[in-house]
Amino acid sequence: MPRYSYYCEACETTSSMFHPISAVVEECPLCLKTEFFYKLVSKPSYKNKTEVKKEPKEKVEEHIRSAREELKQQIKDLKNEDIVE
């Protein structure tokens, strides 16, 4: 399965994804925005099947870690708002 690189101007990140040639990716996997998400021109690379099976689990774990950190920050912000008022 080929790997494609994408760039999101909204969150300023570069993402690599493995998907079939016919698949269309229209939104950033991190911030879910569509209007600033572009496919980069690059040479496709391939992975064997065992490596592809590991990738979704790693992405889910990374997303969970990121969501937890964001939640912690939001809780801190809410506590600070209560103190200020």
Q: Which pTM does this prediction carry? A: 0.45
- Give the per-residue pLDDT at 83: 65
Can you spell out the DSSP letters for 26-83?
A: -S-TTT---TTEEEPP---EE--HHHHHHHHHHHHHHHHHHHHHHHHHHHHHHHHHHH
Is residue 40 domain-shared with residue 68, that is, in the same domain? no
Strand partners, 18: 3
Counting the structural domains of the chain, the total is: 2
Eight-state DSSP code of residue 19: -
Residues 32 and 64 in one domain: no
Say yes or no: 7 and 25 in one domain: yes
**DSSP state for residue 85 in the 8-state scheme:** -
**Same domain for 3 and 42?**
yes
By residue range, what is the domain housing residue 14? Answer: 1-46
64 shares a domain with 41: no
76 and 63 housed in the same domain: yes
Based on the fold, state whether residues 24 and 57 are members of the same structural domain.
no
The residue to which tokens 């990140």 are assigned: 13
Per-residue pLDDT reduced to its tens digit, 36-59: 887 887 665 566 666 556 667 787
∠ CA 14-15-17, rounded to 5°: 155
